Amino acid sequence: MTARTRVAFVVTSLHGGGAEAVGLEWMRALATGADVAAVLVSDRPTDLLPEGIRLEDLGRAGHADTVRGIRRFLRDWSADVVIALQTYPSLLMLAATAGLGDDRPLTVVSEHNLISLGLPGSSAGHRAKIGLAKRSYGRADLVVACSHPVGAELVAAFGVPGDRLAVVPNPALAKAAGATRVARTPGAEHGIDVVLAGRLVPQKRPALAVAATKALRERGVEARLVSFGGGPLLDETAAAAEAAGVPFVSHGWVEDWFARFEPNSVVLLPSIREGFGNVLVEAAAAGVPSVAISGSLGVADAVLPGITGALALDADPASLADALVEAAAIEVPALDGWLDRFTPRASATLLAAALRHAGARTGRDLGALAIAPAETPARG
């Protein structure tokens, strides 16, 4: 009987944003055909750990102690593959595996955001961390990017050889695979619900959404701003909307936000940067168009201009208002072939194929690594 492949994930947290959710979905899917462990390098909660996943909780320790803990676990568990999610875990993993010599597992770095766009105004410590990543990522056996813009940055700015890069789409339909399509009313004649999906944080620029909605109202479009997600800028956003004369509705955090659309909804993602933009795919699955800014780059893999939404030329409120009116007129078709790329099983299957390919290139036999067949929920 062929031994099961052992895959370890090095993560900062099991809670949080898109990257953490991606890691959990990959763990679940890979565990159908491999032994999977999560190596947690913080003191964050562990309640979201998927069933059947081994936990190695290293807690909050100094960098050197954490590196030694990762190295010890990988050696003692005889890991075949180690995948690190995001920059800090990737640096720890690369340092830990450097001490394992020829017995080290296949090393995989995974990035889920556009790093360079986040550097202006960042702390000296963060810039030093990114500088170290630029000197280190080229040593990984495989580097996984969530979108082609992220992949391009990793090759151009981080020295990752093109033959060691794999673009693996996010499992963005993990929650929305069975979303019921909204009976929309295309056009702006009945007004536009401008929908913000996600936590209200500086990177998402909710004030820009207020300004864009105000621009719509100044054109005579009956528009309001609807938020799903809450977040630290909620009160500030509500105050800005009131000052601008923009109706604002906050639903707080809603897991199935894509099931709460009104017929005149358009999703707006006004972020400075996005590695991908899961909410754009979730909206498309529900038949609702979306708008993002072309300069946030990663969204290019998550929206089909003229089909699932529109890309605003820039971050000017007038440009966003133009794009919102354009998107409101779109009747989003059923796109099962495109949407199927973003199911958890499709994402994990592509990841497993990339791991096997990297293993073959480096002389490691990972032929037993596969995703067990599973039914994908039908979309509504």
CATH of the domain at 216: 3.40.50.2000
pLDDT of residue 376: 44
3-state secondary structure of 180: coil
Look-up: residue for tokens 């105000």? 214
Contact yes or no for 334/367 (Cβ under 8 A) = no
For residue 48, the SS3 value is coil
Query: Which residue bears the tokens 């133009």?
Result: 322
Going by C-beta distance under 8 Å and a sequence separation of 6 or more, which residues neighbour residue 75? 100, 103
Give the up-direction half-sphere exposure of residue 92: CA atoms within 13 A in the CB hemisphere: 30
Q: Are residues 18 and 163 in the same domain?
A: yes
Averaged pLDDT, 28-53: 92
Region at 309 (left for phi over 0; alpha for psi -120 to 50; beta for the rest) = left
Say whether both 211 and 349 belong to one domain.
no
Domain shared by 167 and 203, yes or no: no
pLDDT band at residue 306 using 50, 70 and 90 as cut-offs: very high
CA distance 197 to 226: 9
Res. 374: pLDDT tops 60: no
Share of the chain above pLDDT 90, in %: 78
Virtual CA dihedral for 333, 272, 208, 247, nearest 10 degrees?
50
pLDDT at 200: 93
Could you tell me if residue 377 is inside a domain? no
* DSSP designation for 257: G
pLDDT at 265: 96
Reported as a single tens digit per residue, the pLDDT across 336-352 is 999 999 999 999 999 99
Instruction: Note the pLDDT tens digit of each residue in 96-129.
Output: 999 888 889 999 999 999 988 888 888 999 999 9
In this prediction, residue 66 carries a pLDDT of: 95
pLDDT for the residue 223:
97
166 with 198, same domain: the answer is no
Computed over its alpha carbons, how large is the radius of gyration of the chain?
Answer: 21
Is the pLDDT score of 378 beyond 70? no
What's the domain count of the chain? 2
Structural domain harbouring 40: 6-171+343-361
Q: How far from 115 is each of 281, 291, 364, 369, CA to CA, in Å?
A: 22, 22, 31, 31
In a domain, 380, yes or no: no
Compute the distance between CA of residue 231 and CA of residue 252 in angstroms, rounded to an integer. Answer: 8
**Is 55 contained in some domain?**
yes
Quickly state the pLDDT bin for 377 (edges 50, 70, 90).
Answer: very low
In one-letter notation, the amino acid at residue 197 is A
Q: Looking at the structure, do residues 279 and 348 belong to the same domain, yes or no?
A: no
Compute the distance between CA of residue 33 and CA of residue 78 in angstroms, rounded to an integer: 17
Reply yes or no on whether the pLDDT at 1 is more than 50.
no
Position 149 in a domain: yes
Q: Are residues 24 and 126 in the same domain?
A: yes
For the stretch 64-77, pLDDT in tens is: 999 999 999 999 99
CA distance 332 to 178: 16
Q: What is the pLDDT at residue 43? A: 85
Same domain flag for 253 and 297: yes
Q: Quick one: 142 and 250 in the same domain?
A: no
Where residue 2 falls among pLDDT bands split at 50, 70, 90?
A: low
Quote the strand ranges of the chain, DSSP E.
Answer: 6-11, 35-40, 54-57, 81-85, 106-111, 142-145, 165-167, 192-197, 223-228, 248-250, 265-269, 290-293, 309-312
Q: What is the band of 164 on the pLDDT scale with cuts at 50, 70, 90?
A: very high
Q: Is residue 183 part of a domain?
A: no
State whether 14 and 70 are in the same domain: yes
pTM for the model:
0.91
Q: Is the four-CA dihedral 373, 281, 231, 119 of positive or negative sign? A: positive
- The answer to whether residues 36 and 86 belong to one domain is yes
Q: Distance between CA atoms of 333 and 336, rounded to whole angstroms?
A: 9
Is 178 among the domain residues?
Answer: no
Lowest mean pLDDT across 92-96, 311-315, 369-373: 369-373
In a domain, 184, yes or no: no
Q: What is the mean pLDDT of residues 281-305?
A: 95
Is residue 27 domain-shared with residue 136, that is, in the same domain?
yes
Tokens of 19: 């990257």
Say which residue, 46 or 84, is predicted with more confidence: 84
Write down the mean pLDDT value for the chain. Answer: 92
123 part of a folded domain: yes
Q: Could you tell me if 226 and 89 lie in one domain? A: no
Reply yes or no on whether the pLDDT at 234 is more than 50: yes
